[in-house]
Amino acid sequence: MQDLNKAVFLDRDGTINYDPGYLGNPDEVKLYDGVSAGIYKLKQNGFLIIVISNQSGISRGIITREQVESVNGRINQLLKKSNTEIDEFFYCPYHPYYDDADKCQCRKPSPEMVFNAAKKYNINLSESFFVGDRETDIDCGKNAGLKTILIKNTLTQNQIISLQKAGKTPNFVAADFNEVCEFILSVSIGGN
């Protein structure tokens, strides 16, 4: 029987790149400090890197699928300068205000995209992580049985406290992507 893979699932906007809101122009892609080196290090340690993002701007008519694909391509183009890349981008283009409930089942906090990736790449979810900058990311990770990391790129301290009060405390809160990687590698290598 084939060994299972381990993965780090990443939210996109606000987690690995700056989020100007409904990012559709690949020329506006700017990665956060430490993301390229961090993804390189995680991949060197055997992790698949998979992006899981809501892209409701498509349903809203603000951006197109082609623009989302172009932005994803630009992210990988930037990462390749550091000899690394995202293994695959999964995204949900739907929003409940604009689409029926069946279509919206892929939308985070639903774990559907994570489960689809896990099936495709033979991923052991108990050995994997979800990293994001919002409550929906933490919920998605928890719903999929992943260890969760909240990155404070866009959150205020009050928002973090509110998450804790709602019983949605992540496994770790990171100030930046370097701390994300340090935590993942310490847990993974430490065998916890």
Is 11 one of the annotated active-site residues of the chain? yes
Pairwise CA distance, residues 91 & 136, whole Å: 14
Active site residue 13: yes
d(CA 39, CA 83): 10
Question: Are 29 and 67 contacting, i.e. CB atoms less than 8 angstroms apart?
Answer: no
Our CA dihedral for 92, 95, 100, 105, rounded to 10 degrees, sits at 40
Nearest alpha carbon to residue 15 among 152, 138, 183: 152
The one catalytic residue in 11, 87, 133, 139 is 11
Strand partners, 49: 8
Cα–Cα dist 180/41, whole Å: 11
Catalytic residue selected from 3, 13, 87, 100: 13
Q: Coil, strand, or helix at residue 10?
A: strand
Residues 10 and 148 sit within 8 Å (Cβ to Cβ): no
Active site members: 11, 13
